Chains A and B, each alone.
Chain A
Amino acid sequence: MAGLLLSQSEKLFIVHGVQDDYRSDGRSNLDYRPMELETDLVDTATGSARLRLANTDLLVAVKTEIDVPSPDKPDLGKIEFNVDCSANATPQFEGRGGDQLAVGIANLMQAAYQSSQAFNLKQLCIFEGKQCWKLFVDILILECGGNLCDAVSLAVKAALFNTRIPCVKAILMDGGDVDLQLSDDPFDNKLLDVGTAPLLVTLCKIGDKCVVDPSAEEESCSVVSLIVGITGTPSCYSDQENLAEVGGKFSTIDMNGPGSVAPKTLKDAINQGIVAAKLLDKALAKALINERKENIRTKKSSYGFLK
């Protein structure tokens, strides 16, 4: 992080605070910082979201393209994650400086969205074996204030929730080539089913305890953090009753940082992560559904960065 200088005693202060379940900004070890979320603010993308979690600022946009499905998975669409660390966040990201961080986050997201129980790629199929949608999820990191992974996963889920894919009116077969006719009507589109999309929760090991949503200062006090990706609960995102209670499964687990952990700590941490992820998912669902309801009546003017 840019110019983050902590003395030994400051670090010790943070460690002791975590030990007593009372952090320097007044949170307990299981609390998140307040966040701001806004969807649908990039006109050139099919879905977008901006998330601000304390000092971490992200813009996620989803763009769609028509592609040919890979030969061994003819009935599945494609999704690709792309992270760009803007130099606005810190001068260290200038040029190719942020690439290593970017690739790490992109790989993690790709792993989390791999299973069909996390994100069903079948909904992106247009014509089996011939045509499918490819989603480009572009993540732009504008400011880093700790806990990038969680923020990225939240913003990605919000952007996918906001994504509308145009309906296909007709498919013409011309010899071996497929000719698609897409609907021109901007309101004739379908939404993606993102209920199960995973959220990542970073559990930062400070001293003997794990905290969620570490700030940049707390991150510098820890040698190892555990990132768990947990699939969402679809019942929160839909008005339909009697949906099967699925979700809450691990879609990816990864460790970051140069340290190591004891098996018991790891087990405790993943249990802690699942609790945090479920609460987070519920809060996100509530916010997104509220925003959608508001938008149905009148398209509110977006605040964007003007607020």
Chain B
Amino acid sequence: MPLDYRRFNGPEDSVSYKRFTKGYLKSYDELYKESLDDKGVRKDGRALSEARSLFARTDMVSQAKGSSYVELRKTKVVCSVFDPREIPHQNEFSQLGQIFCEVKFAPFSCPRRRRPHVPDAEEKALSVALRKALEPTVCRHMFPNYQVDVFIYILENDGSCLSAAINAAGLALADAAVPMYDVITSCTVAIVGEKMFVDPTEAEENLATISPSTPINHGIITLSMLSELKQISDFTQVGSMDVECVVKAMDILDKECARLVPLMQKVLVANVLKCFETRKRLEEEANEKEQLLNAKMDEWKKLLKFT
């Protein structure tokens, strides 16, 4: 991996002091016990099937054609979408428009490790997953031989960042007036044994990726849906689990995605209303200015006549 020479790098074989802190040395069982208390309440006070409260808004980045911001407590994502442009370095004509996605983590986004400048494997994998999720929802035949750029910047990552990114990208694409078939929503679930953590935090995701010593189900599933059309646009699973578990998780995610749709619609409608209002206000202002100018003109004309 290329080193970043603009700042101090520790010796090559050095390890972070964090590895020797209490939080790091916990065993799997301790982590498992910690994740849920006796009453089935999660560390951050949610029930198992309760997603984090979502904050979403559009119009974040003024330079971009469309942009959005999505916050799931400590997971914060900014998305910007730019105008369609001709696909660079392409010889053949492509009938369908393309979507170019790039996911980038802020250097300070992860509690465990500083992010390098160059895109690493995780960022690349997320970019591909995002593109696959968005392709079915965008009317790509409307802009042949053009590509739309979608940039995701993850300000802070506390689990479910792919879902947050998909939700944000859906909003930003709508804000940029890119024609789409449906509102796209996404949700993640982390599975440890019988427990399904809906909308997991990073700690819960880590717990689900660690392989337990007993052959229980574990893993993470992310699903993105076009809820009105009842279509799944992307489905990714890692870990190890049986059929019943996958089917159960799918039903939970299906509902969760459907629950998000009205929220998204509300944000989008608010955005459109805001746009109308701004337009109305601008028109009014323009009218006022014109009237003022006309009045001035009349005044001068009168002055001209007198002289």
Contact with A along B1-37 (1 / 0, CB 8 A): 0000000000000010001000010000000000000
Query: Using Cβ atoms and an 8 Å threshold, which residues of chain B touch A231?
Result: 240
Contact with B along A251-265 (1 / 0, CB 8 A): 111111111111100
Our pick among A111, A244, A248, A274 for the contact of B238 (Cβ within 8 Å) is A111
Query: Using Cβ atoms and an 8 Å threshold, which residues of chain B touch A107?
Result: 121, 125, 128
The count of residues in chain A whose C-beta lies closer than 8 Å to any C-beta of chain B is 37
The answer to whether A262 and B232 touch across the interface, beta carbons within 8 angstroms, is yes
Our pick among B212, B231, B237, B240 for the contact of A261 (Cβ within 8 Å) is B231
Query: Using Cβ atoms and an 8 Å threshold, which residues of chain B touch A117?
Result: 211, 215, 240
Query: Using Cβ atoms and an 8 Å threshold, which residues of chain A touch B233?
Result: 260
Q: Which has the most chain B C-beta neighbours within 10 Å: A224, A251, A254, A263?
A: A263
Known: A104-B128, A266-B235. A246 touches B215 (CB 8 A): yes
Query: Using Cβ atoms and an 8 Å threshold, which residues of chain A touch B159?
Result: none
The answer to whether A263 and B240 touch across the interface, beta carbons within 8 angstroms, is no
Query: Using Cβ atoms and an 8 Å threshold, which residues of chain A touch B211?
Result: 115-117
Is A161 an interface residue when CB atoms closer than 8 A count as contact? no
Q: How far does the alpha carbon of A111 sit from the alpha carbon of B247 in the complex, in Å?
A: 20
Q: How far does the alpha carbon of A259 sit from the alpha carbon of B96 in the complex, in Å?
A: 13
Is A299 an interface residue when CB atoms closer than 8 A count as contact? no
The answer to whether B247 and A114 touch across the interface, beta carbons within 8 angstroms, is no
Known: A260-B232, A263-B254. A250 touches B128 (CB 8 A): no
Closest to B25 in A: A72
The answer to whether A254 and B235 touch across the interface, beta carbons within 8 angstroms, is yes
Instruction: Give the Cβ gap from A124 to chain B, nearest Cβ, in Å.
Output: 14
Closest to A100 in B: B128
Query: Using Cβ atoms and an 8 Å threshold, which residues of chain B touch A88?
Result: none
Closest to A273 in B: B243
The answer to whether A252 and B238 touch across the interface, beta carbons within 8 angstroms, is yes
The answer to whether B242 and A250 touch across the interface, beta carbons within 8 angstroms, is yes
The answer to whether A253 and B24 touch across the interface, beta carbons within 8 angstroms, is no
The answer to whether B235 and A249 touch across the interface, beta carbons within 8 angstroms, is no
The answer to whether B121 and A260 touch across the interface, beta carbons within 8 angstroms, is no
Our pick among A104, A114, A248 for the contact of B209 (Cβ within 8 Å) is A114
The answer to whether A250 and B232 touch across the interface, beta carbons within 8 angstroms, is no
Is A300 an interface residue when CB atoms closer than 8 A count as contact? no
Is B217 an interface residue when CB atoms closer than 8 A count as contact? yes
Q: How far does the alpha carbon of A244 sit from the alpha carbon of B214 in the complex, in Å?
A: 12
Query: Using Cβ atoms and an 8 Å threshold, which residues of chain A touch B137?
Result: 260
Our pick among A226, A246, A252, A267 for the contact of B247 (Cβ within 8 Å) is A267
Query: Using Cβ atoms and an 8 Å threshold, which residues of chain B touch A249?
Result: 217, 240-242
Is B250 an interface residue when CB atoms closer than 8 A count as contact? yes
Q: Which secondary structure characterizes the binding site on chain A? A: mixed
Closest to B132 in A: A255
Query: Using Cβ atoms and an 8 Å threshold, which residues of chain B touch A250?
Result: 219, 237, 240-243, 246
The answer to whether A103 and B135 touch across the interface, beta carbons within 8 angstroms, is no
Query: Using Cβ atoms and an 8 Å threshold, which residues of chain B touch A261?
Result: 231-232
The answer to whether A262 and B246 touch across the interface, beta carbons within 8 angstroms, is no
Is A139 an interface residue when CB atoms closer than 8 A count as contact? no
Is B124 an interface residue when CB atoms closer than 8 A count as contact? yes
Q: Which has the most chain A C-beta neighbours within 10 Å: B24, B125, B235, B241?
A: B235
Our pick among B15, B218, B254 for the contact of A71 (Cβ within 8 Å) is B15
The answer to whether A252 and B232 touch across the interface, beta carbons within 8 angstroms, is no
Contact with A along B239-271 (1 / 0, CB 8 A): 111110011001000100000000000000000
Closest to B138 in A: A258
Q: How far does the alpha carbon of A92 sit from the alpha carbon of B250 in the complex, in Å?
A: 38
Is A118 an interface residue when CB atoms closer than 8 A count as contact? yes
Closest to A104 in B: B128
The answer to whether A254 and B236 touch across the interface, beta carbons within 8 angstroms, is yes
Q: How far does the alpha carbon of A109 sit from the alpha carbon of B219 in the complex, in Å?
A: 16
Query: Using Cβ atoms and an 8 Å threshold, which residues of chain A touch B231?
Result: 260-262
Is B302 an interface residue when CB atoms closer than 8 A count as contact? no
Query: Using Cβ atoms and an 8 Å threshold, which residues of chain B touch A246?
Result: 215
Our pick among A103, A248, A263 for the contact of B242 (Cβ within 8 Å) is A248
Our pick among B24, B124, B221 for the contact of A103 (Cβ within 8 Å) is B124
Q: From residue 114 to 130 of chain A, which have CB atoms closer than 8 A to chain B?
A: 114-118
Instruction: Give the Cβ gap from A119 to chain B, nearest Cβ, in Å.
Output: 10
Known: A72-B19, A117-B211, A255-B132. A263 touches B243 (CB 8 A): no
Is A270 an interface residue when CB atoms closer than 8 A count as contact? yes
Instruction: Give the Cβ gap from A159 to chain B, nearest Cβ, in Å.
Output: 22
Instruction: Give the Cβ gap from A222 to chain B, nearest Cβ, in Å.
Output: 13
Query: Using Cβ atoms and an 8 Å threshold, which residues of chain A touch B24?
Result: 72
20 CB < 8 A contacts A-B: A104-B128, A111-B238, A114-B238, A115-B238, A115-B239, A231-B240, A244-B215, A246-B215, A249-B241, A250-B243, A252-B237, A252-B238, A254-B237, A256-B132, A258-B136, A260-B226, A262-B230, A267-B247, A267-B250, A270-B243
Given pairs A115-B219, A253-B221, A260-B233, 20 additional interface contacts (CB within 8 A): A72-B19, A72-B24, A103-B124, A107-B125, A107-B128, A114-B239, A115-B218, A115-B238, A116-B211, A246-B215, A248-B242, A250-B246, A252-B238, A253-B235, A253-B246, A254-B236, A257-B132, A262-B231, A263-B254, A266-B232
Residues in chain B within 8 A of chain A (CB atoms) = 15, 19, 24, 96, 121, 124-125, 128, 132, 135-137, 140, 209, 211-212, 215, 217-219, 221, 226, 229-243, 246-247, 250, 254
| CB-CB nearest 9 A-B residue pairs | A116-B211, A260-B136, A253-B237, A115-B240, A260-B231, A117-B240, A258-B135, A260-B233, A111-B238
